[in-house]
Every structure is written in structure tokens, then in C-alpha cells.
Amino acid sequence: MSIQMHPENGGDLAVVEVRGKLTKADYATFIPAFEQLIQTKGKQRVLLDMSGFQGWAWGAAWEDLKFGVRHFSDIEQLAIVGENRWQHCLAAFCKPFTKAQVRYFDSKEGTKARAWLAKEQQAA
């Protein structure tokens, strides 16, 4: 599976690792798990690690868009960690499609991304 989700901090932080090329089948597994986390823990802070992400297979981009629309206000913070310029642009592109605070971090800044998510959590 190209998407792996690991809840941390008692379910208050969803660490989502995306590797390779996403398929529609990846979303069939990921979305129910994410929705269960929201039902039990509420709005999420998400660390999206796209360091090994290579794009979407046919149909997967549509699933990604539907996920974003459906969970427009379920994510309060989104730290995107990546290694390519287009991933940085993706972070800017997704801002209008979510109520979350969105920030991009280079793949070497994973610790900084976690600190940003923790700092914002403490401020709330």
C-alpha cells in the first residue's frame, strides 16, 4: 500500500506517509481509517510525509480530490514534508481547499514540522 497512517500522541496527530504512485485502491483502505480516527478523536493535525511520493495513478487523483472536499474542515493543521519543488507548490495549491493551516517543510525538516504541529497544539 502506498499510504500508511500512524496515529501518534494518543490519536491527536495523524502521521501519513505516502510512497510511490497512489492508486484508487490505496484510498479505499486509507479513507475509512482516517474517518474512524476523526470519529473517535475529532479534528486532526496531520504530518503528511511525501518524501517518496511519485504521483497518482489514473483514478487516484479523483479520490484525492473527493477526500479533500469531504474533509474540508476535519484537519486543523497540515504539515507537508517533501523533497520536490512541485510538492511545495502542492502545499500552496491545497490551501483554498481546506480550513487547515498548511505549511511545507523540506524532507530534512521533519523534526521542525513536528515542532510546528506541537507548538500550534499547545497554543490552542
- The pTM for the full model equals 0.84
pLDDT of res. 91: 60
pLDDT band at 13 (very low <50, low <70, confident <90, very high): very high
Q: For residue 44, with 0-12 CB atoms within 10 Å meaning exposed, 13-18 middle and 19 or more buried, which class applies?
A: buried
The predicted-structure confidence for 92-124, as pLDDT tens digits, reads as follows 566 655 777 888 899 899 999 999 998 755 555
Question: In this predicted structure, what is the pLDDT of residue 105?
Answer: 93
